[in-house]
Amino acid sequence: MQKREYEFDWRFIGDMERGRPNLGNMTRVEVYRLFQYTLRDILERDYGTPEADRLLREAGVLAGRAFAERFIGPCTDFGAFVAKVKDALEALRIGILRIEKADVTRLDFILTVAEDLDCSGLPDVGHVVCAYDEGFVAGALKEAEANLRHLTWQMERVAEGDYSQSLSFMGDFSVAFNRMSREMRDKVHELTRLFERYKLFTHEDVLTGLLNRKTFFEVAVGELRRARETRSPLCFLMADVDEFRKVNDRYGHASGDSVLQLFACRLREALRPDDLCCRFGGDEFVVFMPHTGRAEGLEVAERIRQGCAQAPIPGAMTELSVTASFGLAAFREEAFDGDFDPVVLLEKAVQHSERLLRRAKDEGRNCVRA
């Protein structure tokens, strides 16, 4: 790039009081236009109208930015910034800034300058001659333009779900925007919390907090596929609260619900993290124990049975002594041989453990049959 001999700086404006002690810093608009339009004449002659317009507009932008830096200064409120520009333009007799349109929600603004230095009072020559003036206004509002571009970016972020955005330069609009962002953020948090809660309801039994039957079968099918890959044993345990109907009839359904909830707690306490447990229906519960042989499955079932029998359940009127019966179906690695269908195998496990549960009931209740 060729070395520049001149680059604008405010010091080139000079000291008016020292340089023009008698005439001061005022002159007539005709003289200003004389300077500008003779310059335009030469620029058009040597470079053509489009290039002359471009050069004058760029010079206007440079002047407008220098003007704003000198007479406006930084401003964090958009409305106050525009008001200061308007006051400065009128005080220096540059023109009267008018806001013809201001749609803050769509960031759509139309500004005009009346009685401006460039064009007001000119004859109609059939083409635009206000390139410098337009550039000057654009330059003076450059800081606001940057802020508005940033606002556009922020609103796009909000539209994409980022409610952390906040404004500080749009006056009342900033207050409203920030309040909207906070409220939307709070609403999203609340909706997310509710979604997670209701998502749990679609997977869990509402009364006991255990998996519901549908989710249990979906997860268990996947566990069966993994068990086949690792050739590991598994157990399927079905449990039923003994004489549960008598609890409902004698103490009421509220006490019956308490019995089911506390029995579910005993199940959770006795099981391991990898075990699956669901409320199968009514007072029946099912436990799927992967990587578990028959002996270990019997230990788990017996631990649950003893925990129930030895710990009475507090009721509304009295403590309830509740027992449970269990049927344990244990599957060895050979169960995965041949045509493997996890759904069919799961159905067989349910049927087999249910038969064993009925046997435990027939043989006196409060026992485990495997």
Q: Do 219 and 143 fall into the same domain?
A: no
Q: Do 143 and 231 fall into the same domain?
A: no
pTM of the full structure = 0.48
Q: Do 223 and 132 fall into the same domain?
A: no
Q: Do 125 and 59 fall into the same domain?
A: yes
Q: Do 151 and 218 fall into the same domain?
A: no
Mapping DSSP to helix (H, G, I), strand (E, B) and coil, where does residue 120 land? Answer: coil
Residue 237 lies inside a defined structural domain of this protein: yes
Q: Do 351 and 219 fall into the same domain?
A: yes
Structural domain total, the chain:
2
Residue 203 lies inside a defined structural domain of this protein: no
Name the amino acid, one letter, at 7.
Answer: E
Residue 340 lies inside a defined structural domain of this protein: yes
Interior/surface letters 281-307, b for 16+ CB within 10 angstroms, e for the rest: eebbbbbbbbbbeeeebbebbeebbeb
Q: Do 139 and 20 fall into the same domain?
A: yes
Digit-by-digit pLDDT tens for the chain (370 residues) are 566 777 888 888 888 888 888 888 888 888 888 888 898 899 999 999 889 989 988 988 888 888 888 887 766 566 677 778 888 888 888 888 887 776 655 556 677 778 887 777 777 766 666 788 888 878 877 766 666 666 666 666 666 666 666 655 555 555 666 676 677 676 766 666 655 555 545 688 888 888 888 888 888 888 888 888 888 888 999 999 988 888 888 888 888 888 888 888 888 888 888 888 999 888 999 999 988 899 999 999 998 888 887 766 665 556 677 889 999 999 877 777 777 888 888 888 899 999 999 999 999 999 999 9
Q: Do 144 and 49 fall into the same domain?
A: yes
Residue 206 lies inside a defined structural domain of this protein: no
- Say if CB 100 and CB 112 are below 8 A apart: yes
Quote the tokens at residue 32. 């200003």
| Boundary of a domain, candidates 155, 180, 204 | 155
Residue 15 lies inside a defined structural domain of this protein: yes
Q: Do 122 and 234 fall into the same domain?
A: no
Residue 179 lies inside a defined structural domain of this protein: no
Q: Do 148 and 217 fall into the same domain?
A: no
Mapping DSSP to helix (H, G, I), strand (E, B) and coil, where does residue 205 land? Answer: coil
Q: Measured between alpha carbons, how far is 312 from 306 in angstroms, rounded to an integer?
A: 11
Q: Write out the residue range of the structural domain in which residue 136 sits.
A: 10-155
Q: Measured between alpha carbons, how far is 7 from 64 in angstroms, rounded to an integer?
A: 15
pLDDT at position 314 is 63
| Boundary of a domain, candidates 155, 171, 194 | 155
Residue 254 class from Cβ within 10 Å (0-12 exposed, 13-18 middle, 19+ buried)?
A: exposed
Q: Do 222 and 321 fall into the same domain?
A: yes
Q: Do 242 and 115 fall into the same domain?
A: no
pLDDT at position 294 is 92
Residue 315 lies inside a defined structural domain of this protein: yes
CATH code of the domain containing 348: 3.30.70.270
Q: Which residues pair with 103 in a beta bridge?
A: 108
pLDDT at position 326 is 95
CATH code of the domain containing 27: 3.30.1380.20
Residue 194 lies inside a defined structural domain of this protein: no
| Boundary of a domain, candidates 134, 155, 176 | 155
